[in-house]
Structure 1
Amino acid sequence: MVLLHLPRTHISLCTHFSLFSKPKTPTFNIATTLHPILTCKLFSAPKSTLSASESIPISQFPGNHIETPQEFETPIEIHPEFETHIEIPLEKLFVPPETEVKYTDSGALSTRILKGSNILLSKYARDAQVNQAEFVKSSVRTEDCPSDGLPEFALVGRSNVGKSSLLNSLVRRKKLALTSKKPGKTQCINHFRINDSWYLVDLPGYGYAAAPQELRTDWVKFTKDYFLNRSTLVSVFLLIDASIPAKKIDLEYASWLGQNQIPMTLIFTKCDKRKKKRHGGKKAEENVQDFQELISGFFETVPPWIMTSSLTNQGRDEMLLHMAQLRNYWLKH
C-alpha cells in the first residue's frame, strides 16, 4: 500500500471529500491508456469483480416515502435493451465516509452498490426523494448566489451533453430547466431549490466553439471562481457524454477539478444511445471504462461515477441517493 499524506487529515483518505489529482500538467493521448495509478486500497478483499446491476428504489430508504405531486412527471420504465452492465474491480469502488464494508461468509461483498455506478450505499442515504423544486435566481458572480447556507450540487459539462434534460429528469419536471437545441444557452449560475433544504445548480456549458470568445472566457472565469470559493458546494457533478469516445476538454476539466481538490462525481449521460461505427462503434459502458482509464493516472483515489439517461430516467434514483448521502454527511460535519 502506498501511504499518502493529505492536508485534510480529519477526513479519511479514501472519501469523496479528499479527492485530488497528481500535481502535474495533464497531457492526454486519447488513443492510448495512461500509466497505472498508485492507489490507496479502499479495503482488503478477495481478488474478484462484482456487478452494479441491482436497482435500489429510493422508497426503500428512510425518509423517502413521499407522494409524487401530479405536476411531476411519471417515471419511465427502463427497457431491458437499455440496461447497462459493468464489472467493477473491488479496488475501484467508491466508499462513502463512515461506510462499513461487509462480506458474506463466502467472501462476497454484501454492502449494496448503486446500480450503474461504483458507489457503495451508506447509512446517510435518506431523504433523497424530490417533492418540491423551484427556480430561485440566476447569478453571474459567486458573491451574488443565494446566501442562506443550504448545501448545493453543481451540474457542469460540455455544451450539448444533456445537462438541462438531466436536471429536469432529476426533479421529474419537463421545463424546470429550459432545454435548447442550440448548445451554450445557459450563461449564468442558476440555482434551483429542492425541498426547501438544498440546491441543484445549473452551470454554463463549456467547449461550445460558436459562442463569442469573450463570452466563453467569462463563463470559465466565473464558473471556476464558483468552484474555488463557494463554501456551500458539496460536490460538482461533471457530465460526460457516454455515447461518444472521450473528449480532451472533458479530461482536462476533470483533471482541473482534481488538482484543486474540488469534490467531483462523474455523471455519464446518454447511456441509452448506441452510436454507429463512425463514432467509434462502442457501447456506452465501454466509453465509460475508457474515460476512467484515461483520467486514472491523475487521481490518487477513484472518483465516484454513475451512468444515466434522461430519456429512460436511468440513474435518476442513484444520483439522488448519492447526493443524499453526501449531503447528510456534509450537514453533520
Structure 2
Amino acid sequence: MAIDARRTTDSRALLVLCARRRRWYGLFALLAALRILRDVVHYRIRKREMANLASSLTVMVVMRLGWQDIVMRFGFAMALNVLVYLLNDIFDVRADHASGTRDRDKIAFLQNNMKFGWAAASIPLGVMIGLGAMWNHELLWVLCVAGGSCLAYSARLKRLAFLDLATIFVCATAGSMLAFPLDRALGWCLAGLLGCFAMCFQVVQMVRDHDEDASFGTRTTAVVLGPQTMMRLQRVLLVLTAVYASLLVHRWVGVVLLLTVLLPFRAKEADRYWNHLRLTLGVAWLAIVVFIGWTGMSYGWLTRLGYESLLW
C-alpha cells in the first residue's frame, strides 16, 4: 500500500501544532491562575483584611511552638487565607461586577476565566494538603473544618440572616486552630476570643454593606434587622466578648474591653468606627499575648491555663 508523503507530512504538522497549542494553553492557564491569586492577595492586603495572619502568629509564639513548626503553620495559614478569599471572590463575582465597588478589570478577568479561578484554588489547597500530610496531620482536620465552614459561608450561608454571623464565629475559630496543637486548652480559649472579635468586625461589615446587599436582595442579618438594631446588637456582642475574655483569658483586659461599648457607631461613619474598633481590640489582644507570653499562663476569673495545659 502506497503512502502519501505529503499527507503524512501534513498530519505530523497538525500534530505538532496541536501539541504546541496544548503547551501554550497550559502556560496561559497557569499564568491566568497566578494572576487571579495575585489579585486576591493584593486586594486583601490593600483593604487590610488579612490581619488574622498576625493574630495566628502571635498564638503560635504564645504557645511556644518551635520555629520550624511556626514556619510550617504560618505557611498553612497563608494558603488557607488565599483559598478562603479566592472562593469568596468566585461566589461573589457577579455581585462584585455589578456593584462597581472593586477594580472592574480584575473582576471582569475572573468572571471571564472562572475555570482558571477554580484551577487557581488547587494551588493553595495543594499546599495545605502537602503540609498536613508531611508535617502535622492535625492540619488536615483544620483544613476540613475551617475550609469547609468558609466554603459553606461563601456559597450559601452568608446570604442567610443570623446564620451568616454565626458562621463567621465558626470560621474564625476554626481558622485559628492551625496555630496550636489541638489538645491544648489555652489555644482553644484564645481561638474562641478571636472568633468573638471576628463577629464584632463582621457586624460593622454588614452595616457598611447594608444598602448594597438590600439592593441585590441579599438577606443578611443587617438587611433583616436594619442598621440601628445591628448597632445595638454590636454592643451586646462587645459585652459578651469582654465577659468571655475576663472569665477565660485575662480578667482585667476583659474589663477594659467593656470600654469598646462607648465607641460611637453610626452607619454613615462605619469605616471610622471600623478603624477605632480595630485599634482597640488590637491593643487588647497585644496586652493579652504579652502577658501570657511573659507569664506562660492566662489570668481569667474562672481558670488559669498554661501553654501546656491539656484538654484531656
Identify the TM-score tier after normalising by the shorter chain: under 0.3
TM-score (norm 1): 0.25
Return the structure number with greater helix share: 2
The higher relative CO (CA closer than 8 Å, separation ≥ 6) is in 1
Structure with bigger gyration radius: 2
Return the structure number with greater strand share: 1
